[in-house]
Amino acid sequence: MKIRHLGTLAVSEIGFGAMSFASYYGETPDRSEAIRVIRGAYDLGVTFFDTAEAYGPWTNEVLVGEALAPIRDRVVVATKFGWNIDPDTGEQRPGLNSRPDHVKRVADAMLKRLGTDRIDILYQHRVDPDVQIEEVAGAVKDLVAAGKVGHFGLSEASAATIRRAHAVQPVTAVQSEYSLWTRDPEPEVLPLCEELGIGFVPWSPLGAGFLTGTIDSDTALPATDFRAGSPRFAKDARESNQGVVDLLRHVAARKNSTPAQIALAWLLARKPFIVPIFGTRRLDRIEENLGAANVSLSAKDLNAIETAMSRIEVKGARLPEAILQLSYR
């Protein structure tokens, strides 16, 4: 696995997101299997792992901490704050909370759950409209000075917010949804990251599984799967969006690869500071996805993909409206 840089931080060019081991995709595997898969990702070359206090809440950080404990000094661990989670009970309350005192308190709790002495990247999960971003950046700056946090990150933030935060505490990475069928960061956020030397971390690079070609309009999604409530995963949207998968399959056939590998290779080819993170519960899927690093897409390939995508209208919002409203603020 080759190395890329998020700011000055060296990580594997593809990372692993552990959200799949929370309850967002229905029933989760047992703990021992989850740990086996996470450690297996490291054995296959992944050194960049992502979690969040909201995944559970809290249980995902504990799982990731336990899984990575034997190799802690050889990996980069990122987690996220910002939801209004009661720090004493774990109760998920309405809205967001990035007050500086809260940020510092939850960071200490994160360290305990992860079983570590530092958080390599601490992201604000969503921008809190009730707290000035300069105050949030200042709180993280204090955590960096205390040695508890290595680097500052933002998730789903607007270009203007990123610039303001960066002026107080350098932003190492910005994490937002980005894939062949979700292009929101391209007009403003990606150019700003390039200008300021900030790494960009696409989450859901495989379109929550749709871009792998393993989901179609007939796939049953249980009510416990978050995709069951996502506009882009409504039955008619999946049927309409099949053209994106057909395109990926066409390119994959020419490259002797899979649709998932093409989707990830497309991201890797966009910019050298892009480090996608995918999630899965299966070790064989990890091995498949990491194979994207060996897929070369030429300028001709990329132009052909762009031309084909210009003829496809992606149907359905990427997230439910209530969550979508929290992005790009």
Active-site residue numbers?
55
Task: Give SS3 for 90.
Answer: coil
**Residues near 195 by beta carbon (within 8 Å), at least 6 away in sequence:** none
How far out from the chain centre does Cα 66 lie? Answer: 20
Beta-strand pair 15-17/48-50: parallel
Contact 46, 292 (CB under 8 A): no
Beta-strand pair 92-96/83-85: antiparallel
Count other Cβ atoms within 10 Å, centred on residue 14.
28
How far apart are the C-alpha atoms of 324 and 71, rounded to whole Å? 36
Count other Cβ atoms within 10 Å, centred on residue 117.
9
How far apart are the C-alpha atoms of 156 and 184, rounded to whole Å? 10
Task: Give SS3 for 106.
Answer: helix
How far apart are the C-alpha atoms of 304 and 319, rounded to whole Å? 28
Sign of CA dihedral 243, 190, 288, 204: negative
How far apart are the C-alpha atoms of 207 and 262, rounded to whole Å? 13
Beta-strand pair 119-124/149-155: parallel
- The conformation of residue 73, written as its DSSP 8-state character, comes to G
